[in-house]
Chains A and B, each alone.
Chain A
Amino acid sequence: MGIGGFSLSNLSIEAKVGVFVIIGMIILGYMSMRLGKLGFKMDQGFEVKVYFDSASGLEEDVSVEIAGVEVGRVSKILLEDGKALVILRIDSNVKLRKDVKALIKSRGILGDKYVVLIQGSPAAPLIEPNGRIISTTTATDLESLMNVLGDVAKDISRLTQSFANVMGGEKGEASLRSIIDSMKAVAETLNRTVQENNKGLVKIITNLSEFSATINEISSKINKGEGSIGKLINEEDTVKRLNGTLASLKEITEKINRGEGSLGKLINEEETVENINSTLTSINDYMQKQESFRTYLDYRGEYLFDSEEVKSYLTLRIQPREDKYYLLQIVDDPSGVESETDITTTTNGVTTTEHIEKNEKNKIKFSAQIAKRYYDLGLRGGIFESTGGFAFDYYLFKDRLTLSLEAFDFDSDSNAHLKFKADFTPFKHLYITSGFDDFISDKGNESFFIGAGINFLDDDLKTLLSNLPF
């Protein structure tokens, strides 16, 4: 790797790496600028709209040209009222006249589409920014033109071929002649038939006329109530009977209304109503109580970066009111508890007693706390990880984010255990947490942590449990 080694060898490592990175950045910058899509061009230009019947094959960011010179890019292609709305970004030093014409053209054998503008007369007024180019043509592209031409050619060839088959040769000629002869014969026969049957036709028409007259007569009879159908429809009796039925129905409902009859009594009795009402009220009350009384079961794990271990919490939260709850917690603490014990050993008959600092791993601790909430601020107090303590919680973003500061373990011989954490609940039942545990520790326990938790409301638990197969 002799390259770069000759004069750089006296440089410090940092300088070498720096030079190297700068060279890389320069190359990257150069390439980006040449590709021109990042560009330091501050000229934003102006936009004009064009409506095309079809923008098929047109892409955003392709060039817009006048007389083969790029004057801008296609900045957006949208659909509006079944037409393609193409927004062009034109360099600001280019002047477009109102009668400018826009068309989509394709380039090369691969047919990449681009937009061509054809300038109008110099006398016409200028188009303003965000104005519209009215005159458009969609140039037929090479490919579809080829396709259509091909189809046309195929059809023509098929047609001519069949013609050739029919007409070609003597046989064809003869058959053509016989066709014409038979057509002639048909026409003559038709003529004759019409003339011979003239009388019959007249008779048919007369019959039809008589039939329609008869129908007319029948319908007028029904109207007047004559004949059996007419009678049924027009009889006064029928109407009376129907009326009577309706009247008795009415009577029954009125009876019920007045509380007469057994059904009526049941429905109209005041007592019944009261009974039902009070039942409803008590159900309601019960439901309300149930609503505010909630029990949560919660598990959270925190990964402590410094000790590379997970601290777990299993929590039961009983919440009788919206602003108050009790918390019972089991904590599995991998950093354990430090205790001091005396170890007595006997070696070679000599008994020695030593005072030992001991670290018990995976010690289970307990918490029991009472919490009260005032608006967005919560206060907690009680037992924290088997020692006394208190905490503040601050609720943000509709309780989705909770910031907490806990202070406990106020032992006289070491600093208090302070813990800051932030819980964020992106989804129902699931939350993520991060913070700093024991950050003023004088025993090297301070650690950044991240973690996650899951919680269930009692109802969710019920649903879960009832779905278990036992």
Chain B
Amino acid sequence: MIKLIKISKSFNSQKVLDELDLNIDPEKITVIIGQSGGGKSVLLKHIIGLIRPDSGQIIIDKIDITNLNDKKLNEVRKKFGMLFQDAALFDSMTVGENVAFPLNEHTRLSRKEINKIVNEKLNLVGLENVIHKMPSELSGGMRKRVGLARAIALDPKIVLFDEPTTGLDPIMRESVDELIVATQKRTKATFVIISHDIESTFTIAHKVAMLYQGKIVAVGTPDEIRSSNNSFVKRFIRDLRI
């Protein structure tokens, strides 16, 4: 589904990604874990074409997006939904308008049909009666849910998550994790999550990829990673737990 081949990227001569290779399987939840500031967000932005690599190739759904122009890239991006760290809701719009935004932009549906989809998606993320509220009136967890509703509004094949559980209390964290798993089951989309939260990673991931010093150092199911005898992986997990 998503294939990264020998991706390198430097900012101001500091190497953030170093010939990184990664294969992401379709219709699965893949979690990329790594330390804060370890280039996880940069990696995610490469996948959706917000940042172009210095070298290497990015292949999304059999299309090489490395050198695509903006117009064609926009076509590819319609396969994506993305949930940002702080949800990135448009604060000049109501919750309903936020979820309807991609539908208004990229479909020719009537207002009625759009309203129907908006309600459906909000129900899916467990939110009701907030459709006319402004994002500023919502709690952090609710904003994430709205963000997810917006991300899946166009039924994308791939949904990207930037640190979905950061900044939430443990109870909210658990409910967001449950929501991600449930949503993935419903939509059958490919979920790519970046996180430094080792606990929730092991609960939700089908596959875990470890990012360390610009490279993917280990890939496997949560069980494989957990029971790994590799001392490096062990230390990595211990470090993240702290």
- Using CB atoms and an 8 Å cutoff, list the residues of chain A in contact with chain B: 306-309, 334-336, 343, 345, 347-348, 354-361, 443-444
Q: B237 on the interface (CB 8 Å rule)? A: no
B3-44 near A? 1/0 per residue, CB < 8 Å: 101000000000000000101000000000000000000000
Residues of A within 8 A of B219 (CB): 347-348
* CB < 8 Å neighbour of A444 from B21, B62, B71: B71
B153 to chain A, nearest CB (A): 22
Q: Are B69 and A357 in contact (CB under 8 A)?
A: no
Q: Mark B202-223, 1 if CB is under 8 A from A, else 0.
A: 0000000000000000010000
Say whether B67 faces chain A, with CB atoms less than 8 Å apart: yes
B64 at interface, CB cutoff 8 A: yes
Do A307 and B69 touch (CB < 8 A)?
yes
Whether B63 sits at the interface, judged by CB under 8 Å, is: yes
The 3 closest A-B pairs by CB, nearest first: A307-B69, A361-B67, A358-B64
Give chain A nearest CB distance to B207 CB in angstroms.
11
What residues of A have a CB within 8 angstroms of the CB of B75 in the complex?
444
Interface residues of B (CB under 8 A from A): 3, 5, 21, 23, 59, 62-64, 66-72, 75, 219
Instruction: State the Cβ distance, A379 to closest chain B Cβ, in Å.
Output: 33
- Nearest chain B CB to A439 CB, angstrom units: 14
The reply to whether A335 and B69 contact each other, CB–CB distance below 8 Å, is yes
Q: A345-B3, A347-B23, A348-B219 are in contact. Are A354 and B71 (CB under 8 A)?
A: no
CB atoms of B69 and A309 under 8 A apart = yes
CB proximity of A436 to chain B, nearest CB, Å: 15
User: Taking the nearest CB of chain A, how far is it from the CB of B162, in angstroms?
Assistant: 25
Decide: A357 and B70 in contact? CB cutoff 8 A. no
Chain A residues within an 8 Å CB radius of B67: 336, 359-361
List residues of chain B with CB within 8 A of the CB of A343: 3, 5, 59
Q: Which single member of A307, A347, A355 contacts B71 (CB below 8 Å)?
A: A307
Q: From A360, which residue of chain B is reached at the shortest CB distance?
A: B67
Docked Cα-Cα span, A348 to B21, in Å, equals 12
Tell me whether A354 and B5 are in contact in the complex, defined as CB-CB below 8 angstroms, given that A307-B69, A345-B23, A361-B67 are known contacts.
no
Q: Please give me the residue from chain A that is nearest to B66 by CB atom.
A: A359
Among A347, A357, A360, the residue within 8 A (CB) of B63 is A357
B residues less than 8 Å from A306 (CB atoms): 69, 71
- Decide if A308 touches B69 in the complex (CB within 8 Å): yes
Are B5 and A307 neighbours in the complex by a CB distance under 8 Å? no
Closest-CB distance, A342 to chain B (whole angstroms): 11
